């Protein structure tokens, strides 16, 4: 087969700040998937995109090419469907209560999720702390769970946007992850190929977010909303704060416990607020704008769906979750008001305790993590617990404590602390 383009010419085009044609993009993605374009050539192209950017039509065509590299699912036979994607944060367990909450209103939720890498926790890692639960389902099994239960959380199959899977691994090792055209096309190629009827994006900004600067997070949100809209997918984004960890736990089993508390009608107010806000957006996008979302948490409907959903994937919703062998509590050195908790510092501590992984092959300690006993605005006394560290390996405590050395800021007693709103903006 004679190839219509040469990889070097495509690289040169973007290196010289020119616009890639539709045909060039379609060819290079297909050729890379087939192995005709080598990793080092795609690395060079990714770096050229990282440095020089892409115009909106280029990003749209790049996304479409990645979708075309694999299969597309079709859930139309199941009725109304909606999905959610978060750009990742610290203590971000929202998917766990959100899926059964939306499914309680007869909108099916095919939540294809991933594992954690670096400081952000993965939804599948959290769910796998439930004894017996399994993430890998065939397409037929996924459809069965959606049909019978209404919601599913599982790993994406290898047939969805295989070009993205290959390219993502390359970007992770070539310092080209933090690139809005490549991030947005990576996320949206999988979500569009997934075939959901509506998509709500939770784009985070702040110390613990992938996009720390609000302007860049806003640009990412707008780019993804435009990509979804161009593809005929109803897409909305919420720009949310990730300067402070969500909820009171960061870790796998710890976050599952907190999620179950929310489904039981309790839980931290910020987790409830974001879960309900995202559920309202998903339901409105699916044609149900006027339902009482919060009531389904308090009356047990969402909990019923959760239990059935866990059981449908082999898990035992009544089983005891893993508990850390060792804990260590950090206390306040003096009286004061918590003025800030740095989400990234807490994330690094949880990572060092064993809750995260540095490489995708690394195991995680399901019981490891950090428990918060106070949030910004809370008054604390000297000696009062601030954080409890959980791990199965006490040798991990010193490095975790190092990460937390400046994580919590205390203002003078009586100080009024201004907190940033959790939901900063809505982009549609």
Residues that are catalytic: 85, 164, 171, 186, 190
Provide the token pair at 68: 């075309």
Q: Which helix (H) or strand (E) holds 85?
A: strand 83-86
Q: Which helix (H) or strand (E) holds 234?
A: strand 234-241
Backbone φ/ψ region at 326: left (φ over 0), alpha (ψ -120 to 50), beta: beta
* Cα torsion through 399, 403, 406, 407, rounded to 10: -130
User: Which residue from 164, 81, 92 is spatially nearest to 123, judged by alpha carbons?
Assistant: 92
Q: Mutual orientation of helices 139-148 and 301-312 as an angle, nearest 10°?
A: 150
User: Which residue from 241, 238, 221 is spatially nearest to 282, judged by alpha carbons?
Assistant: 238
DSSP per position, 339-364: EEE-HHHHHHHHIIIIIS-SSTT---
Full strand arrangement of the beta sheet holding 379-380 = 379-380, 336-341, 408-411
Cα separation of 391 and 322, whole Å? 11
The pairing of beta strand 234-241 with beta strand 198-205? parallel
For 88-208, list the strands marked E by DSSP: 109-113, 151-155, 198-205
Helix (H, G, I), strand (E, B) or coil at 238: strand
The pairing of beta strand 423-427 with beta strand 234-241? antiparallel
Max Cα separation, the chain?
75
Helix (H, G, I), strand (E, B) or coil at 327: strand
DSSP type of residue 120: B
Residue 125, C-beta contacts closer than 8 angstroms, at least 6 positions apart = 115, 116, 252, 364, 366
CA distances from 237 to 64, 75, 111, 200, 292 (A): 20, 22, 16, 6, 21
Residue 166, C-beta contacts closer than 8 angstroms, at least 6 positions apart = 32, 33
């Amino acid at each position: 087969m004679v190839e219509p383009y040469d990889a070097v010419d495509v690289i040169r085009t973007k290196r010289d700040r020119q616009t890639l044609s539709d045909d060039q993009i379609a060819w290079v993605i297909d050729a890379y998937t087939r192995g005709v374009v080598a990793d080092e050539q795609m690395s060079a192209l990714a770096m050229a995109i990282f440095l020089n950017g892409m115009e909106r039509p280029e990003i749209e065509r790049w996304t479409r090419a990645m979708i075309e590299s694999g299969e597309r699912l079709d859930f139309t036979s199941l009725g109304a469907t909606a999905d959610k994607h978060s750009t990742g944060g610290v203590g971000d367990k929202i998917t766990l209560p959100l899926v059964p909450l939306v499914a309680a209103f007869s909108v099916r939720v095919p939540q294809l999720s991933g594992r954690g890498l670096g400081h952000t926790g993965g939804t599948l890692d959290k769910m796998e702390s439930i004894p017996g639960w399994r993430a890998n389902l065939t397409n037929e099994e996924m459809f069965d769970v959606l049909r019978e239960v209404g919601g599913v959380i599982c790993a994406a199959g290898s047939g969805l946007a295989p070009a993205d899977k290959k390219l993502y691994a390359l970007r992770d090792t070539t310092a080209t992850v933090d690139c809005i055209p490549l991030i947005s096309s990576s996320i949206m190629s999988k979500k569009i190929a997934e075939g959901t009827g509506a998509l709500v994006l939770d784009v985070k900004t702040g110390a613990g977010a992938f996009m720390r600067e609000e302007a860049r997070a806003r640009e990412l949100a707008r780019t993804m909303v435009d990509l979804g809209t161009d593809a005929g997918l109803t897409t909305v984004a919420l720009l949310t704060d990730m300067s402070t960890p969500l909820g009171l736990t960061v870790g796998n089993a710890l976050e599952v416990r907190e999620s179950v508390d929310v489904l039981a009608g309790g839980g931290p107010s910020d987790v409830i607020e974001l879960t309900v806000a995202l559920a309202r957006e998903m339901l409105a996008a699916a044609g149900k704008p006027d339902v009482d979302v919060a009531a389904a948490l308090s009356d047990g409907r969402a909990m019923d769906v959760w239990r059935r959903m866990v059981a449908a994937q082999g898990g035992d919703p009544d089983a005891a979750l893993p508990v850390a062998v060792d804990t260590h509590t950090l206390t306040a050195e003096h009286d004061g008001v918590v003025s800030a908790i740095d989400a990234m510092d807490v994330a690094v501590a949880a990572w060092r305790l064993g809750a995260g992984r540095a490489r995708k092959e690394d195991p995680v300690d399901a019981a490891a993590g950090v428990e918060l006993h106070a949030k910004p605005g809370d008054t604390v006394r000297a000696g009062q617990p601030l954080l409890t560290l959980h791990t199965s390996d006490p040798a991990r405590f010193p490095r975790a404590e190092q990460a937390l050395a400046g994580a919590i800021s205390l203002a003078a007693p009586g100080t009024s602390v201004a907190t940033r709103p959790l939901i900063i903006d809505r982009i549609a």
